[in-house]
Amino acid sequence: MAIKEISVPDIGGATDVEIIEILVKPGDTIQEDSNLITLESEKAAMDVPSPMAGVVKALKVKVGDKVSQGDVILTVDAAGATDDNNKKTQQADTTKDAKPQHSEQSDSGSALKEVLVPDIGGAENVDVIEVAVKVGDKLAADDPILTLESEKAAMDVPAPFAGTVQEVKVKKGDKVSQGHVIIMMSAQETDATTTTAPAKTEVPQQSAPVAPKAAPAPVKTAPVSSQGILYAGPAVRRLAYELGIDLNQIQGSGDKGRITKQDLQNHIKKGLQGGGVGMAMPAAPVIDFSQFGDISVEALSRINKLTGQNMQRNWLSVPHVTQFEDADITDMEAFRQANKAQAEKQGFKLTPLAIILKAVVMALKQYPRFNSSLDSNGEQLILKHYYHIGVAVDTPNGLVVPVLRDVDRKGIFELAAELAKISQKAREGKLTLNDMKGGCFTISSLGGIGGTAFTPIVNAPEVAILGVSKAQTKAVYNGKEFVPRLMLPLSLSYDHRVIDGALGARFTVFLSQCLSDIRKLLL
Ligand code: CAO
């Protein structure tokens, strides 16, 4: 077994670049140049391809990690594949060294030829976006060797004759022009595939180099890939990531099942039309506002854009109902005032939110359907037996939702301290993806700001969200007289596919009772 570490290559000096996708898992068989991870920096998204073939043993990174050149990504059992490749590369190198110009014979008795970039319509310095072959591959005539992509088009370069790849001279990301050597191939007359490929008989067997004809990428409906590895360029991956689209759902039409931008657009179109005739979203008109007066333009932050996409998806896909209720928190507020100084001594603020977190867990335990998610086909409900609660935090860069874990196992002071810490971390823009994962239910508190009620958007795949507005002292009739009571407005939005109106009202009333009599939190 030859276990090798694969680390982040030179990424143009960028450091702490975020991993937005991991494309392989332990047990996957990968080829040299199979994409392993996708990185996204401020400026670009890029795939990191494998420098060797083998079987993935262990992943050393996860989505959301930030990496720099030299950080280990994963370990690979490179036994067999790499050794074999090395031998073949050495063999080809020896042949090349002995006969540097136009090589003639390999030890199998067949000619070694250079395969060049063909006439590509005068385009220069065209990007190699995929190398489809590796040393040792046996190719039939017209098998794709690599894919080039210029400003205007993508094209495959096919093998001009059947044979075995002896050396690969280019790699993904290289820029090439007509006449560049791309691979060294030995023609194999004895190979069964060559006898069935009529084109190869035209190829002069001893005269090297050979330039194939460039062919537009053929449309194939091959499966995603033979190893289950997904082929898609960084631009397509980035777009899919931004739109929250799982590329595994898309059948690629490119070579090796490569997913093209067009495939992604078709998938989105299909999705929009999926709701039935007339359900597609009408396009918004483009308006030039400067015709009405002065304007200025401001770029949205990355968080703004992601929040916008999530909100739109949740708003469109979840049938929302919002239930309102006022909780009498007069006694709760007295308790909070009584304990505020003690919390401050310990370095944090005791706000109503810490107590609301506890009450929400009580309500989730009483009505477990609120602590669930619909599975992806909408046929089953996944009930969770843990209580991780997300809290919406307003930051200078936009809205983020860090998650407090195991709220059921923590006391009110502990929660208040954690809340202070995590909202501080959020405001400093230091939250990790892990800090925001795994929530069961979300609380959005605007109580520190004001307002009487609002309709929060469910943070799918959660099924409900609690909006909290500013508590106000109101005159409440107790059956005999009006008395001043501190009333906290609650706005509970829920997914009507999972929760019906009666259950929504029961949950809200129960929550309100827990807040009105916080002794219930001890039960
Ligand atoms: N009613 C009256 N007063 C309230 C209150 C309420 N419901 N909630 C908080 N307050 C008070 C607090 O007690 C505190 O006052 P004191 O200092 O006198 O005790 C003050 O308002 C400020 O509280 P806070 O905002 O600092 O703390 P918090 O624990 O209530 O909230 C956090 C923390 C992070 C949730 C909040 O700062 C925040 O970012 N809220 C915005 C969330 C948001 O944008 N949601 C919209 C999402 S869109 O669906």
Percent of the chain with pLDDT over 90: 50
- Report the amino acid identity of residue 172: K
Catalytic annotation present for 320:
no
Q: Helices 352-366 and 501-516 sit at what angle, rounded to 10 degrees? A: 130
Tens-place pLDDT, residues 65-107: 999 999 999 999 987 454 444 333 333 333 333 222 233 334 4
412 lines ligand 1 (CB under 6 A): no
pTM to 2 decimals? 0.55
- Cα–Cα distance measured from residue 33 to residue 39, given in angstroms and rounded to the nearest whole number: 16
Positive or negative torsion for Cα 121, 124, 130, 134: positive
218 lines ligand 1 (CB under 6 A): no
Is 214 within 8 Å of 118 (Cβ atoms)? yes
Catalytic annotation present for 514:
no
Residues 6+ positions from 274 with CB-CB distance below 8 Å: none
468 lines ligand 1 (CB under 6 A): yes
- Ligand 1, closest atom to CA 393? 39
Tens-place pLDDT, residues 406-442: 999 999 999 999 999 999 999 999 999 899 999 999 9
Tens-place pLDDT, residues 113-164: 899 988 877 778 888 888 888 898 888 887 888 888 776 666 778 888 888 9
352 lines ligand 1 (CB under 6 A): yes
Tens-place pLDDT, residues 30-73: 988 888 988 877 666 678 889 999 999 999 999 889 999 999 99
- Cα–Cα distance measured from residue 476 to residue 486, given in angstroms and rounded to the nearest whole number: 9
Positive or negative torsion for Cα 15, 20, 25, 30: negative
Residue nearest to atom 8 of ligand 1 (CA): 447
